[in-house]
Structure 1
């Protein structure tokens, strides 16, 4: 039997962040992943923003930060373009190479002192007690052999509908209405107007979601779509129709296909318990509007690792002690996920005509000194009905 203070299950960005910060806090850490190669297959549009990297104290590295992004363009259903670039937005970002980034983050965890074990699948979990308090025994399968790992704290970072959380009695099931079905090509031969801006294409054509073009090189981009998981047709049909209809992609050819589900229902009901912390997609630490989860998941992982290390030092692995994780994550993110979930519901209620009107109203405005009140006044000019809807949203989202 192997013994460790903290066992992290899942070596995505959230799990690696958890392992790194638990190890930096003085805990012994094992990080396991069921795959033989960390980072594959990718299920991500690969966008990340500067401020998030600063929160995580990560310096961009050209090994994985492959394209500088200076803003974005929102395309209305009627093809009107609203561009928010470096002349308007102070925030910039990168398109990253997830296959490299995930491995890089796992290496960071290893350098901090975590032991990495690939091709290792957690099969079952049992709680027990000894003279030092409660612990877990995790039965794992590694390359055809069964091994046992004894851990004081388990951090579940095993993705949507976490099996590990369920093993502890937590309901991590995502309702169909709260799951997006995503599909993406990495394409070459892309010829967008500006290859330093991401593009978000809105409208009913995406059946409750949106399409995107995220540049990765001079003529390379991730081109994808996320639709409601309850849609009658598969997501790839919607994506192929979008590509066929968009002139900058007329000569583009796919070199890679990525598919996956994205939980957008917000945080699951419980993300900590006796001997357990849950982070990343497993915890629902995902932006409900865009489905982006790298930064939020890694903030969850970082917080979980720090709390786990403190609990190990205190020799207290109880749910009461580990509840600190939920409080700190909410503080660090300023309660962003529940608020964004409300914004998602507003977005889904907008018709193509609503979207056209809103985007038309914001084209050409001076954003340098614009306040939230100014934004609401612009929407009021478009439609009192929409202003009422957004007014309620702003009151809830920005009340803190």
Structure 2
């Protein structure tokens, strides 16, 4: 079977779905394919999202995929001192939700379908070959070989992206910047309140542990580590945390998720003639927090906008698609460069230094939380940081 489309989006995660929806809204033929038999599985996400992200992407909150409304965040230092930022203590820049990604991702795909996107699941792209007008993709759908002809490919196939490599892009994240992540969804957790909980220090070398509440007694508990900081596995540290944390003493695992998280910042070669990379495939993951859902969807939006223009202009060259690079650099990349510098500095700190920073934050006026204020506090607690962070103020 042969199929012809203007744009082929490979990968039906949030970035791919938003790209497809954006293109379909311009009445352009777009096909979205995904190798999985069920959209949204397996999840590789702590499932948190800011309300402003939904507003920015014109996604109406739906109780079917919201499991919890988050009221704040608690950060616990190595010495177990905890600082809390919530609507009772500070003026938060935003609030958020904990999602059920299996439902949320399907919602995004269904929305793209309603706008005119054609969708094929259980469809794996096997080879990508350039043609004078774009690409020919050989794929397998439910055991049947199909050929897809397209003018533009938007690759949204995750951190192990094969599509960019097959198209000739140097799009792989360096292994030193690939965090090893594991998460347990657990029931019978002794939760209090609706805050996200973060634990820092040697409890999780080169990363942090998160506890995201999903219900009265349900939570995602996970972590990501950089292998350059330990010779032990991510599972070792998560199991140790679960065994030693009182709120998890009677909890049991109902789901396990594992995977890599690219923390090196945006991939430089994220576009070429007739192709753009979005989401994890192009490194759209905050290097400091590991959060990727917001920036993934933004990358999909920008790729969709640029692809639509290119199709209408009948010019899908690298010169035209460079607008995607420029948009993502301006709205995402510049911030990522700053966060990368903060991350690199924080990775040099021992538990004692982290304790001092948390202590300094607890003594400071945090009636309004800003990045600049936090940077000043870090520098005050650790004067040597001014050499690396001073230019960011």
Q: TM-score scaled by structure 1?
A: 0.93
CA shift, 1:164, in A, is 0.5
Partner of 2:175: 176
Whether the aligned pair in 1 keeps the contact of 2:130 and 2:167 (CA below 8 Å) is: no
- Equivalents in 2 of 1:298, 1:370: separation in Å? 25
Structure 1 segment 250-289 matched on structure 2, within 5 A:
250-289=249-288
1:59 aligns with 2:57: no
Partner of 2:9: 8
- Equivalents in 1 of 2:333, 2:265: separation in Å? 14
Q: TM-score scaled by structure 2?
A: 0.95
Deviates more, 1:325-334 or 1:5-14: 325-334
- Equivalents in 1 of 2:6, 2:284: separation in Å? 24
Structure 1 segment 117-156 matched on structure 2, within 5 A:
117-129=120-132, 134-156=133-155
Partner of 2:343: 344
Secondary structure of the corresponding residue to residue 206 of structure 1: coil
Partner of 1:245: 244
CA shift, 1:46, in A, is 0.4
Give 5+ residue unaligned stretches, structure 2: none
Partner of 2:295: 296
TM-superposition CA deviations, 1:114-158 (whole Å, max 9, x none):
0000000001111222xxxx2211111111111011100000000
- Equivalents in 2 of 1:250, 1:19: separation in Å? 44
Give the direction of change, closer, same or farther, for the CA distance of 1:121–1:380 in structure 2 (3 Å limit): closer
Partner of 2:198: 200
* Structure 2 residue corresponding to 1:219, chosen from 217, 220, 232: 217
Give the direction of change, closer, same or farther, for the CA distance of 1:140–1:73 in structure 2 (3 Å limit): same
Give 5+ residue unaligned stretches, structure 1: 396-400
Whether the aligned pair in 2 keeps the contact of 1:156 and 1:278 (CA below 8 Å) is: yes
Whether the aligned pair in 2 keeps the contact of 1:161 and 1:172 (CA below 8 Å) is: no
1:112 aligns with 2:112: no
Whether the aligned pair in 2 keeps the contact of 1:70 and 1:86 (CA below 8 Å) is: yes
Give the direction of change, closer, same or farther, for the CA distance of 1:244–1:164 in structure 2 (3 Å limit): same
Partner of 1:312: 311
- Equivalents in 2 of 1:330, 1:82: separation in Å? 33
Q: Alignment length, in residue pairs?
A: 389
CA shift, 1:256, in A, is 0.9
TM-superposition CA deviations, 1:321-368 (whole Å, max 9, x none):
001101112233372222222221112111111110010111153323
CA shift, 1:385, in A, is 2.2
Give the direction of change, closer, same or farther, for the CA distance of 1:268–1:380 in structure 2 (3 Å limit): closer
1:159 aligns with 2:162: no
